[in-house]
Amino acid sequence: MTQVLGKVVTFDEFVAKYPDNTGQRYELYDGVIIEMPPPTGDHEEVIGFLATKITLEYSRLNLPYFIPKTVFVKPVENESAYSPDVLILNQPNLVNESLWKKASTVTQAASIPLVIEVVSTNWRDDYLKKYADYEEMGIPEYWIVDYGALGGREFIGKPKQPTILICCLEEGEYRVSKFRGNDRIQSPTFPELDLTAEQIFRAGTVGNS
C-alpha cells in the first residue's frame, strides 16, 4: 500500500528532498509526498518487456524518442509529480521544458508521446488521479496495464480479468479502448507495433510458469 509522508510541500521542496538515501520511490500528489509500494518481480518484468518492445519500435522508425530512467511528469495546474513506469520522451521538445535541466521534470504534452503505468496495489491512482491529470495535460496516449486484474470492476469488468486500457486524446478527452487475451494492441503513437495483450501479461508470469 502507498504511505503518506508528512506535511504538504511544494514541488520545489519535493524535488530538493528527492531522492533520499533509502532507494525508495516517491511521488507527489497535490503537495503530499507518497511513498510508493515496493515493486514485485512480475511488475518489473512487465515494465522491462514493454520498454524493450517500444524502444525497438521507435528505433526502427528512427524517431527522436528515448525512455529515461527517472523523470517526473508534473501537471502545471497542481503540486503533483509522477514517476511513470514507462515514459517515452520526445527529445527535441526538451529545450522548451524549463524544469528539465535542473529537475529532470517535464510539463508539456509535446514532450510526452506516450506514458505507461503498470498497475499495482495503488491501482486507484492509475485509473483515477493520473488518468485525470494526464488527460488535462493533453498527453496524447496513456496506457494502463493491469496484468494482475487489480482494478475496479467498472474498469476491467466482472469477473475481473487482465486488461490493458489505451487512452487516446480526442478533442481534449480520453477515448478508452480495452485489450485482453489475443487482442492486438492498437497504439496511435506506434500503429505498426506487433504486440498482443497476452504477450504483455505473460511477461509478468514467465518466472512463475
pLDDT at 39: 80
**What pTM was estimated for this model as a whole?**
0.92
Please choose, from the candidates 16, 10, 2, 53, the residue with its C-alpha nearest in 3D space to the C-alpha of residue 189.
53
Whether the per-residue pLDDT at 208 is higher than 70: the answer is no
CA distances from 168 to 78, 88, 132, 188 (A): 22, 15, 13, 8
What pLDDT digit, counting tens, does each position of 90-112 carry?
Answer: 999 999 999 999 999 999 999 99
Cβ neighbors of 90 (< 8 A, separation 6 or more) are: 64, 65, 110, 111, 112, 113
For the four alpha carbons of 183, 189, 192 and 198, in that order, the dihedral sign comes to negative
pLDDT at 209: 39
What pLDDT digit, counting tens, does each position of 122-172 carry?
Answer: 899 999 999 999 999 999 999 999 999 999 999 999 899 999 999 999 999
Average pLDDT in the 6-24 region?
78
